Amino acid sequence: MATVIDGKNVAASVIQTVKSATAALEKSSGVTTGLAVIIVGDDPASHAYVGSKGRMAKECGFKSVQHTLPAETRQEELAALVASLNADPSIHGILVQLPLPKPLDSEPIIQSILPEKDVDGLSVVNAGKLATGDLKTGLVSCTPAGAMVFVRRTHGEDLSGLNAVVIGRSNLFGKPMAQLLLNANATVTMAHSRTKNLAEVCRNADILVAAVGRPEMVKADWVKPGATVIDVGINRVPAPDRGEGKTRLVGDVAFAEVSAIASTITPVPGGVGPMTIAMLMANTVIAAHRAAGQTPPQF
């Protein structure tokens, strides 16, 4: 049976490092790490996410600022708020909670955040830095950064000689994940819904990362015995056994059958999920260290 990675445990250890680094930065240079979150409208799921991010920022010892704007906020008003946060030296990370209500256009807003404050790692500048291997000055998108922590803790820093397959080519996860694996010297194949003989491609992987949003698509016969399997999918499927209309969360990997083949696997829920907010905090404290001219912590 595979070792199941406990994402909550790993996330807690990342947060512990963030807390120590935050306190050390404040002591050495008087800088309090600052995170500003902007939320527009009243989507309950977005407010729940923002609430948990704010609580975690406070727990880490950050200055945590939340700007809650009405749904009818105009594009130029939102752009002006981002510009004011860009100019505020006490704010090291700026986060705009997505999706924005229509007719607001999120792309120009995201790209207007200074790359060094873009703690979500979504700017084209940070994507470009990752693509060219510049991990020293760029910030990496939180979910792939979190998945990469699992990979490093399983296989070490250098992935030379290992084959990695990433299923999914999104800008949010698939592409940055492939770049991170490549930067660590893995031989990387990017697969997706149009890949021919997908199961066969996956069977070559020492590290298999699934991020396609198809419930339990990856079966046991897709997986090389002894592989590390990272499941990034979050899918709701009917669960009639729990009662009428009830659902449960599953990943992109058929967990029960694959865990009999793999050596290491992440569960859904409780795997990559908890790492996303932890890496957001990590990116913020890294940004604060860089702004203060200090060496940032490693995660």
What are 188-244's pLDDT values in tens digits?
Answer: 999 998 999 999 999 999 999 999 999 999 999 999 999 999 999 999 998 888 888
117, 118, 120, 206: the catalytic one is 120
The pTM assigned to this predicted structure is: 0.94
Beta bridge partners of 65: 36
pLDDT at 35: 98
Q: Please, are residues 264 and 245 in contact by the beta-carbon 8 Å criterion?
A: no
111: three-class secondary structure by DSSP: helix
8, 16, 27, 53: the catalytic one is 53
Spans of the chain below 50 pLDDT: none
Q: Is 158 a catalytic residue?
A: no
Q: Say which CATH class 142-274 falls into.
A: alpha beta
Q: CATH code for 30-114?
A: 3.40.50.10860
pLDDT at 245: 84
Q: Which residues contact 160 (CB under 8 A, 6 or more apart)?
A: 185, 186
- What is the domain partition of the chain in residue ranges? 30-114, 142-274
pLDDT at 60: 98
pLDDT at 25: 97
DSSP 125-148: HHHHHHHTT-TTT----HHHHHHH
Q: Please, are residues 78 and 38 in contact by the beta-carbon 8 Å criterion?
A: yes
Q: Is 88 a catalytic residue?
A: no
Burial of 195 (0-12, 13-18, 19+ CB in 10 A): middle
DSSP E strand boundaries for the chain: 3-4, 34-40, 63-69, 93-96, 163-167, 187-191, 207-210, 228-231, 235-238, 247-250, 264-265
225 prior amide bond cis, ω within 30: no
CA distance 108 to 124: 11
- Of residues 219, 213, 220, the one with CA closest to residue 234: 213
Q: Please, are residues 104 and 73 in contact by the beta-carbon 8 Å criterion?
A: yes
Helical H segments across 136-252, by residue range: 142-155, 174-183, 198-202
Q: Is 97 a catalytic residue?
A: yes
pLDDT at 243: 84
30-114 and 142-274 have identical folds: yes
Q: Residue 78 corresponds to which tokens in the numbers above?
A: 């939102």
Q: Please, are residues 233 and 210 in contact by the beta-carbon 8 Å criterion?
A: yes
19, 42, 63, 97: the catalytic one is 97
Q: Residue 174 corresponds to which tokens in the numbers above?
A: 């698939």
